[in-house]
Amino acid sequence: MTVPLGSLPTDRLVRTVDELLVQSPVAPIFELAADVERWPAHLSHYRYVRFLDGGVDDVRVVEMSANRPFGPVDWPTWWTSRMGIARDAARPSIRFTHVAGVTKGMEVEWTFEPARNGTLVRIVHVWNGPRWPVIGEMSAKFVIAPVFVHGIASRTLAGLARVAERRS
C-alpha cells in the first residue's frame, strides 16, 4: 500500500524520536493513534482536534492544539497538518505534514512494529526549523524540538499506550 504523503524526508536538520514498547497488539494501538479526533477524550493535555476538510485520496487536514505543561502552568500550542493513514496490515503508519503554525514544514511519522510482548511505536519528527532569520535553526534544535515537540509527543504516546494496555 502506498503511504499517503510519501516517505519521511531524511535531509532535515532537526530529528526528534519518541518510542515506546506498548503492551498491546498492533491493531488496538494503531487504531487509537489514527483516531485523532478522540485524542482529547484520552489525553488531558490535548485541548482539541478537529478536521477542517473531508479529505482527498486518504489525506485530510486536521487542526490540533495541546498544552505543554511547565509545572503548574500550561503553555498552549496549536498546529495544522495534512494527515495520511496507511492501513497496511504489514506496516501501518500515520503521516503528518505541518502546514500552519510555528512548526510549519515539520514532517511526522508514526510507525507500529510487532515486538515481543507488544508493539514498538515510534514517532519521528523531522524539520528544518522556523524561517526566522538568525535564530530559526537554533530555536528549533534547542527549544522547540526538545521542549515542545518531545514534551507533547512523549505524553501523547504514553497516554495512548495506557489506554491500549488497559483494553488489551
- 45-60 residue pLDDT tens: 999 999 998 776 678 9
CATH superfamily to which 14-167 belongs: START domain (3.30.530.20)
> What is the amino acid identity at position 140?
A
SS3 state at 7: coil
Average pLDDT, the chain: 92
Q: Scanning the structure block, which residue is given the C-alpha cell 482536534?
A: 49
Residues in the chain, how many?
Answer: 168
CA distance 13 to 30: 28
Separation in Å, CA 113 to CA 88, 116, 156: 12, 10, 18
- 75-119 residue pLDDT tens: 999 999 999 999 887 889 999 999 999 999 999 999 999 999 999
0.85 cut: is pTM over it? yes
